[in-house]
A and B are shown apart, each in its own frame.
Chain A
Amino acid sequence: MSERKPKASRQAFGEALADLGATHPHIVVLDADLAKSTKSELFATKFPERFVECGIAEQNMVGVAAGLGLAGKNAFCCSFACFVAGRFETIKISVAYSGGNVKIVGTHAGVGIGPDGYSQMGLEDLALMRTLPTMQVFQPSDEVETRQIMEYLASHDGPAYLRLTRQELTPMHGPEYRFVPGKIDVLAEGKDVAIFATGGPVMHAMAARAALAADGIDAAVINVPSIKPLDHDGIAAWATKVPLFVSVEDHNVLGGMGGAVAEVLASVPRSARLHRHGILDVFGESGEPEDLYRKFRLDGPGITAVVREALGR
């Protein structure tokens, strides 16, 4: 029953990567002196000959991964979301434009990293990665989903970005769950409001749903693991079923999942109104992850309050 215990998505990633290495000989893994933190060390211990330690030099790591990908490997290139997405232009040219088989893995995403503070927080990575043609962008909400996405990435030939948490995530899915790229994942139906959540806040959106139900508000919770490709049709269908969307993410509200949903709604006539929630274009700060989630209203009570305000109830 280990799959039912809370687990950080970085840990689930590291375990899946080490398992997939056995069946996918073309997988190689690169890290930039953070293998212990990104959990790529689990692969490194098992397959040292296929692990490339690049030192604290992320842009070279991204380029080396691109070369490995162009020469037939499936290169997983790991660091904190903040540091790897920060090498954006190398990702743009050497990875995306060159079309190499590279998976950029950004861990410790969002304010959820906690006490290290803003300089270590990836809060703009989704916005950056989403703008690169051919780049797919995924963010799992728990262990089962992380493993499912990893199985997809192990076989997918092309560039992708995977965004992972430092903090532990409550299971949202049973072993029967099947992740489908380009599809939303409806965790709970509802008719008054649809909460679209991705990554760390998904479990808190479910807690908010329970609190809202006690007040007679029927909230759907929709997990968005596939930010690109995005489920345009699925989101558009919900836009005519409920009057209000609330998007929730541990990322700047500019350009992230909420921004992507807004782009869909812009093309749907007579659609739901959207309230985008997340980090409201401000810098993060140090603090325990739970304290930061409280401050930025990404925990259950915070999301509950945000939804109530948006509904005017």
Chain B
Amino acid sequence: MTQDRQTAVAALDAQCTRLRRDILEMITEAGSGHPGGSLSAVDLIATLYAHHLRQGAARASDPTRDRFVLSKGHGVPALYAVLAEHGYFPHADLKSLRKLGSPLQGHPVVGTVPGIEACTGSLGQGLSVAVGMALAARLDGHDARTWCLMGDGEIQEGQVWEALMSASKFRLDNLVGILDFNKAQIDGLVKDVMPIEPVEDKARSFGWLTRRIDGHDFEQILSAYAWAEVPEGLPKLIVADTIKGKGVSFMESDLVKWHGVATTREQLEKALSELSVKGAGR
């Protein structure tokens, strides 16, 4: 690793610890939400916004921006935390998550806060929308890239496979899929509820190029995103092995439980004690 890369990884590490604290605080305040899948996805989302997504708060409406579709909409606390971190809206708004009148809806809604590209939360729909956005960029002749983050349980939806088929037919090398493979869903482990493996083989047989990484290793995430940005005539899928509830020991040891359960104040304090920010906080 170069010195620059080491610095970048250290900064991401510190930032994602802060973001994990934000996620847990906002879900605790809301009294409901999905901590497990937010914590599994946050490293992937934060790294994208910090280093690869050509957007930024000032360009959130620019028609030539890169777009990020959070197809696993229940992970939106992670996206809200990242958007606030990058100045898309005030950090103080995070406390209003899921409250009546708040722009921070329980699942992503276009037009509520800048940076939300599609309404999601009904699983399986986001990749199709991302395919449409990638087609539009090609028609308009600009080099905008569309990124789409999906859950592992989510790809049990048939529409995802229709979308995978169409993206390779259209040879969308401006489209990147990211799979947050955290191994658990509401009714149990993915391998028991409805297994998706061998997921890379399946995606490749649908015409995608794939790479598999540790979704909590920033060096690997950065390398995979750099790979994904190289156009090779086909869409690319990054399968990221992640841990549901990553960073909080009592969640990591009980993957299924923490899909859609909010932490109590007491549990929050315990979690925050494991998420200490080295050096200066915010």
- Enumerate chain A interface residues (CB-CB to B < 8 A): 28, 49-50, 52, 54-55, 57, 59-60, 62-73, 75, 89-90, 92-94, 97-99
Question: Which residue of B109, B132, B137, B139 is within 8 Å of A65 (Cβ)?
Answer: B132
Q: Are B166 and A71 in contact (CB under 8 A)?
A: no
Inside 8 A of B131's CB, which chain A residues have their CB? 60, 63-64, 67
B129 at the interface (CB under 8 A from A): yes
- Residue with the highest number of chain A CB atoms closer than 10 Å, among B132, B136, B159, B166: B132
- Residue contact A93 to B139, C-beta cutoff 8 Å: no
Q: Which of A55, A64, A93, A97 contacts B132 (CB 8 A)?
A: A64
CA distance A38 to B159 in the complex (A): 23
- For the complex, count residues of B whose C-beta is within 8 A of A: 34
Query: Are B118 and A66 in touch, CB under 8 angstroms?
Result: yes
Most buried by B among A60, A70, A97: A60
- Flag if A67 contacts B120 (CB, 8 Å): no
8 Å CB contact of B129 from A28, A54, A66, A92: A66
> Is B125 in contact with A94, judged by CB distance below 8 angstroms?
yes
13 A/B residue pairs, CB under 8 Å, sorted by A: A57-B166, A60-B163, A64-B131, A67-B128, A67-B136, A70-B110, A70-B133, A73-B136, A90-B125, A92-B122, A93-B120, A93-B122, A99-B111
Residues of A within 8 A of B122 (CB): 89-90, 92-93
The CB with the most chain B CB atoms within 10 A, among A65, A73, A94, is that of A94
Bound form: Cα–Cα A75–B128 in Å: 14
Give the secondary structure class of B's interface: helix
What CA separation (Å) do A92 and B120 show in the bound complex?
Answer: 11
| CB-CB under 8 A for A64 and B129, given A54-B166, A59-B159 | yes
Q: Note all chain A residues with C-beta closer than 8 A to B137.
A: 71
Does B119 belong to the interface (CB within 8 Å)? yes
Contact of A70 among B121, B127, B129 (CB under 8 A): B129
With A60-B166, A93-B125 as given contacts, are A68 and B109 in contact (CB-CB < 8 Å)?
no
Q: Which residues of A contact B165 (CB under 8 A)?
A: 55, 57, 60
Interface centre among B109, B129, B140, B166, by most A CB within 10 Å?
A: B129
Given contacts A28-B136, A67-B118, 13 further A-B contacts (CB under 8 A): A63-B159, A64-B131, A64-B135, A67-B129, A67-B146, A68-B135, A70-B133, A71-B132, A71-B136, A72-B136, A90-B128, A97-B119, A99-B110
Query: Which chain B positions have C-beta within 8 A of A66?
Result: 118, 128-129, 132
Is B39's beta carbon under 8 Å from chain A? no
Write the nearest CB–CB distance from B146 to chain A, whole angstroms: 8
- Give A70 to B126 CA distance when docked, in angstroms: 12
Counting from the closest, the 7 A-B pairs by CB-CB distance are: A67-B132, A63-B128, A71-B136, A60-B162, A57-B162, A67-B129, A64-B132
Q: How far is the CB of B163 from chain A (nearest CB, A)?
A: 5
A55-B165, A63-B163 known; A71+B120 contact, CB < 8 A: no
Nearest residue, chain A, Cβ from B108 = A98
Q: In the complex, what residues of A have CB within 8 A of residue B121's CB?
A: 93
Q: How far in angstroms is the closest Cβ of chain B from A272?
A: 40
How many whole Å from B197's CB to the nearest CB in chain A? 23
Contact A59 B128, CB 8 Å, known A67-B118, A68-B133, A93-B122? yes
Query: Which B87-121 residues have C-beta < 8 A from chain A?
Result: 109-111, 117-121
Measured CA separation A115–B127 after assembly (Å): 37
Answer yes or no: B81 CB below 8 A from chain A CBs.
no
- B-chain residues with CB within 8 Å of residue A60 when the two chains form the complex: 128, 131, 159, 162-163, 165-166
> Which residues 165-188 of B sit at the A interface, judged by CB distance below 8 A?
165-166, 169-170
CB–CB A67/B119 < 8 A: no
Report whether A52 and B135 are in contact in the complex, using a CB–CB cutoff of 8 Å: yes
Contacts of A59 in B (CB 8 A): 128, 158-159, 162
**Contact assessment for A70 and B117 in the assembled complex, using a CB-CB cutoff below 8 Å:** yes
A71 touches B125 (CB 8 A): no
Tell me, yes or no, whether B70 is within 8 Å of chain A by CB. Answer: no
A90-B120 Cα distance, complex, nearest whole Å:
10
Partner of B109, one of A57, A75, A94, A97: A97
Select from chain A the residue with minimum beta-carbon distance to B129: A67
Chain B residue, CB-CB nearest to A56: B162
Least CB separation from A25: chain B residue: B139
Complex contacts, B159 vs chain A, CB 8 Å:
59-60, 63, 90
A93 to B159, CA, bound (A): 14
Least CB separation from A54: chain B residue? B166
